[in-house]
Amino acid sequence: MVMVDTRIIQHPKVWEASGHIAGFNDPMVDDRETKQRFRADHLRGLYVGSPPANPVPKATVVASTEGEAVEQISTDKKLQKLMGVRSIAKQFAPEGADGAWLGGVDFGQGVVTCTVQAVSMETLKSHAAQMPSPFTGKAGALTEPKQFNLMFHTYAGAVFDEANKAYLRPETAQGIFCQAKNVWDTNRVRVPFGIAQTGTSFRNEVTPRNFTFRSREFEQMEIEFFVVPAEHLEGDEKTTNDPMAWYKFFRDWRMEWWQSIGLRSENLILREHAQDELAHYSTATSDIEYRFPFTSPGFGELEGIAYRGNYDLTQHQKHSGAKLEYRDTARGEVLPNGSRRGVAYLPHVIEPSAGLDRGVLAILCEAYTVDPARPSPEFMKFHPRIAPIKAAVFPLVDKEGMPEIASKLHAELRKRFGHLGMIETDAKQSIGKRYARMDEAGCPFCFTIDGETLKDQTVTVRDRDTGKQNRMPIGEVADFIDKALRG
């Protein structure tokens, strides 16, 4: 894997080639009266019964998921008034049900059961005149959906005109494609190999929300993994080195990676896209999704893994006029001396593309634990591998030789694990308060030097999740942490 760090502002033709200027759009709807604009696919309808016999909902709300819409409707009294809702008795989501359900809704004519569902694009177009506004409740104020480009633009150079218009990158991927030939011409790499990049991307999201889940400026982690097109593979390679085999490898490996940093619960799922969901150039795509508290009962995307064929390199080759083919000297006709003639091709690409901010948010949601019975009723159950503080070393009391031993162990642990995270030490306050502070920060292990240590060179290790303490020889502490980081 080769790492690159490409530029945020690239030649505007890059975005023409990638299709972002023509196609990186969100369908937007305006409310003519309040002048508010929102994403058409975020309009949720409150329908009486399910499935709705009438395509026009009784009321609408703007929310990115059905779970979020139910939350808003059931807690926001002002919104309920706007919707004509007098009361809601209970809220539930039956297993396997489409959309989210609201039980016992009273619109003033008795109690009925309602569903909350996305208003389809077709319905928005065909019933624009009857559609109730999410801001005023009035029908007829919403426009039909119109396309709105998500790229931020700026001007490169002294003159602010169309000719000098440039864009802030909406993804890091295109920088990788534009540098791919430079990478394989100047590094000792052979296809299959990957180029990875972490960097900031910008999207003019109309409804940034849910902490860092949807922001206008966010961090992406992307890999473009270049593989040999199936038609150039021979013998066993047809199965072992096949692009689809690589796609499956990355799909499963990325899922395992998210699990390895602590997203182990049933809140993490791998969702393979149906054929009709695929982009025209993709043969297979899957998403790794997490059930965030604000998307529940639905899921939000953390990462997409896509087999993109040679679509991007073909586009950049066409728009730049530069040949981007890779010359593979290990393939082609066998010559009399046993070597190969070589073939030139545009490699195919498997792209794992993840949101770093979304990943951190998922880790925070997964780790956050409430236990009123503990001295720290809220604490963070980070996997040791991801915990910012890997361990803490405490002298039980700030005297009798204990601080000196603690300080020596602290220095040893910092030397060994300091590149992975922090090692804390603290001699003030009661030991209970010091443990509680470390629990809140998600530190998995606290090692305490006490009176026994002075006699037999053992320390206590306290486990954050159970609060249990065990003794171990002071010389085994570093290996104990090392094992936990690998586990």
> Which residues here bind ligand GAP, judged by CB under 6 A?
171, 173, 203, 205, 214-215, 218, 220, 222, 301-304, 353-355, 357-358
Smallest distance, Å, CB 358 to ligand GAP? 4
Smallest distance, Å, CB 278 to ligand GAP? 13
Smallest distance, Å, CB 202 to ligand GAP? 9
Alpha carbon distance 139, 15 (integer Å) = 39
Smallest distance, Å, CB 301 to ligand GAP? 4
Smallest distance, Å, CB 295 to ligand GAP? 13
Smallest distance, Å, CB 322 to ligand GAP? 21
Task: Name the residue nearer to ligand GAP (CB basis): 130 or 282.
Answer: 282
Task: State in Å, rounded, how far the first CA of the chain is from the last one.
Answer: 24
Q: Do residues 395 and 405 touch, judged by C-beta distance below 8 A?
A: yes
**Cβ contacts of 275 within 8 Å, gap of 6 or more:** none
Task: Name the residue nearer to ligand GAP (CB basis): 205 or 325.
Answer: 205
Smallest distance, Å, CB 292 to ligand GAP? 12
Task: Name the residue nearer to ligand GAP (CB basis): 114 or 354.
Answer: 354
Task: Name the residue nearer to ligand GAP (CB basis): 199 or 444.
Answer: 199
Q: Do residues 187 and 161 touch, judged by C-beta distance below 8 A?
A: no
Smallest distance, Å, CB 103 to ligand GAP? 33
Task: Name the residue nearer to ligand GAP (CB basis): 301 or 325.
Answer: 301
Task: Name the residue nearer to ligand GAP (CB basis): 47 or 299.
Answer: 299
Task: Name the residue nearer to ligand GAP (CB basis): 331 or 358.
Answer: 358
Question: Which residue has the CB atom at the shortest distance from ligand GAP?
Answer: 355
Task: Name the residue nearer to ligand GAP (CB basis): 47 or 250.
Answer: 250
Q: Do residues 274 and 260 touch, judged by C-beta distance below 8 A?
A: no
Smallest distance, Å, CB 404 to ligand GAP? 48
Residue 89: φ, ψ to 5°: -80, -45
Task: Name the residue nearer to ligand GAP (CB basis): 115 or 220.
Answer: 220
Residue 338: φ, ψ to 5°: 90, -15
Task: Name the residue nearer to ligand GAP (CB basis): 355 or 442.
Answer: 355
Smallest distance, Å, CB 259 to ligand GAP? 17
Rg of the chain on CA atoms, in Å:
28
Angle value at C-alpha 344, between 343 and 346, nearest 5 degrees: 135
